[in-house]
Amino acid sequence: MKRKLFLGAMLLLSTNVLFFSSCEKEDTPSAPTVKITELGSGHDNPNDKIAYAGSDAHIEAEITADGLIESITVEVHQEDGDYEFNKVYTDAKYVGVKNVTFHEHLEIPAEAPEGEYHLHLVVRDQEGQTGMAESELIIKPASENDDDGHDHDDEHDHDHNH
């Protein structure tokens, strides 16, 4: 008699455990949200959507990941071509974080052909969910970003405010 009661209690306990674990599963955090706030050739022009081959592109974005950030990937691909490159960020300041302002200077390969590109910022959380934002980006040849060989003629408006 006692034994039957014990078994019954065990059964009740295990169904309870099952119940609780299935309950927890329903509580999946929402997928990451990403918003690119700035993308450009530098802090003087933080949002001009232009980058120069062989130089850095300034990227700023607001990220929210209820499931905590696992990795952040920047993918850049040509609009009409096969050229593409990417960079994965798994810095300590991002991994395991819920809300963060992403601010990085992405190195544009010197051999990147000039033209129209597409940039994707993909955030993966620790639940395996992803969120993505995208932007257009123009890559210009390095020569157009060169200050050397630049004529210092007087027509140029030099800023002498210090």
Q: Which stretch binds Zn ion (CB under 5 A): 23-31, 50-58, 94-102, 138-146?
A: 50-58
Q: How far apart are CA 100 and CA 15, in angstroms?
A: 41
- Least distance from C-beta 66 to Zn ion, angstroms? 25
Query: Smaller CB distance to Zn ion: residue 38 or 127?
Result: 38
Query: Smaller CB distance to Zn ion: residue 58 or 124?
Result: 58
* C-alpha R_g of the chain: 25
Q: How far apart are CA 49 and CA 108, in angstroms?
A: 13
Q: What DSSP string runs through 41-87?
A: SSSSSTTS-EEETTSEEEEEEEEE-TT-EEEEEEEEEETTSS-EEEE
Query: Smaller CB distance to Zn ion: residue 13 or 84?
Result: 84
- DSSP secondary structure code for residue 160 in this structure: -
Q: Which stretch binds Zn ion (CB under 5 A): 10-18, 55-63, 107-115, 144-152?
A: 55-63
Report the site for Zn ion in 57-76 (rule: CB under 5 A). Answer: 58
Report the site for Zn ion in 90-149 (rule: CB under 5 A). Answer: 118
> Which residues form the interface with Zn ion (CB under 5 A)?
58, 118
